[in-house]
Amino acid sequence: MRLITCETMRDGIVVSLAFLGIGAVLIYAAASLLPDIAALRLVANVLGIVSLFLAPIVLISTFIATVWPGSRKKMDSCEH
């Protein structure tokens, strides 16, 4: 089973970027756009913070998976 490939490395970077963007948009929306109805701001703010925390976790785990000794040979065949 090939868990780490060039495509999964690229997907990890895209997912990390998506988490970062979604987190920034949610926090901005909670601060200035959303009305204060039924704790909507709180929910958006918490989801934004969780997204911002997940972005570096996904990126770091992708990095660790690519520099793992067994996957070095697989990453040498990727186009950079």
**1 found inside a domain:** no
Supply the pLDDT for residue 1: 42
pLDDT tens, residue by residue, 17-59 = 999 999 999 999 999 988 888 899 999 999 999 999 999 999 9
The helix (H) or strand (E) run that includes residue 6 is helix 6-28
**63 found inside a domain:** yes
Q: Give the number of domains in the chain.
A: 1
Supply the pLDDT for residue 36: 84
**79 found inside a domain:** no
**pTM score, two decimals?**
0.84
Cα–Cα distance measured from residue 16 to residue 76, given in angstroms and rounded to the nearest whole number = 22
The parent domain of residue 66 ranges over 6-74
pLDDT tens, residue by residue, 1-25 = 467 788 888 999 999 999 999 999 9
**30 found inside a domain:** yes
Q: Position of tokens 């990390």?
A: 16
